[in-house]
Amino acid sequence: MQHIRTADAVTVRRDDPDDVVARLEEDIIFGRLAPGARLTEDALMARYGTSRHFVRQALVEAERRGIVRREKNVGATVRIYSAEEVRQIYEVREMLTRQAALMIPLPAPQSLIDTLSELQQQYCARAELQDLRGIHETNDAFHVALFGACGNPYLVRSLQDYMNLTLPMRAKNLADREGLALSKRQHEMMIELLKGRDSWALAQLCVDHMQFSKSDYLARIANDDAGH
């Protein structure tokens, strides 16, 4: 089992528990803490320059988001998903995504088009800089703004939960040039479809949009299993 190394420590503000959560999430979703890595409180305190109280808060929140597993007599580890779990999680996310997209009134108001176009510009700018955190944040902001137009905040909240749950599965592709190029093209197509009246085409594109990351993660799991 991999252990985190204090030599990898990064500096965060000691008085900000949300920042500790964000740093832990970032280290996990971008692969700096590998699936199965043991997360000891002492090592995390040294890594993030923070208190045990804030580390415990971060682990509780990370467990709630589904990226950390905490077990009695084992402690906390970076969660590992099986191929079947990945398929089941994406199955639910795809259903929620399709329903939200179908509920967006078309043609969409110009205010939504303008908001998404601005977020798309920010997304492309972050991609040019290879700013992984920025790519992740602008990508999720794009989708939250898009699905927020469905008019059902409970559906949007459920979608956000599943977006968080799939972060460890999709974050690697934020640094993948092929995946990033495909994502940018599909975002632009979504904006164009919002100007028309074909809700089914928009819904199918939104579902297709998540297939690259899903397929890539399943392939990585298969390769890992074959290597053992």
What is the per-residue pLDDT for 225?
Answer: 64
Domains and CATH numbers, the chain: 6-78 (1.10.10.10), 83-226 (1.20.120.530)
CB 116 within 8 A of CB 142: yes
pTM assigned to the model? 0.79
Residue with more model confidence, 28 or 63: 63
Q: How confident is the model at residue 139 (pLDDT cuts 50, 70, 90)?
A: very high
Per-residue pLDDT, 216:
84
pLDDT at 16: 67
Hey, which residues does 70 pair with through a beta bridge?
A: 76
The pLDDT score that the predictor gives to residue 146 is 98
Helix and strand totals (H; E) in the chain: 11, 3
With 80 as the cut, is the pLDDT of residue 151 above it?
yes
pLDDT > 90 fraction of the chain, expressed in percent and rounded: 51
Token pair recorded at residue 225: 């299993």
Sign of the dihedral through C-alpha 76, 78, 20, 43:
positive
Q: Are 115 and 108 in contact (CB under 8 A)?
A: no
Strand ranges (DSSP E) for the chain?
A: 38-39, 68-71, 75-78
Q: Say which residue, 64 or 198, is predicted with more confidence.
A: 198
pLDDT band at 23 (very low <50, low <70, confident <90, very high): confident
Instruction: Please report, rounded to a whole number, the percentage of residues in the chain having pLDDT higher than 70.
Output: 88
Q: What is the pLDDT of residues 65-104, one digit of tens each?
A: 878 889 888 889 988 888 999 999 999 999 999 999 999 9
Residue 12, pLDDT above cutoff 50: no
Is the pLDDT higher at 7 or at 161?
161
Phi, psi (rounded to 5 degrees) for 86: -60, -45
Range 110-139 average pLDDT: 93
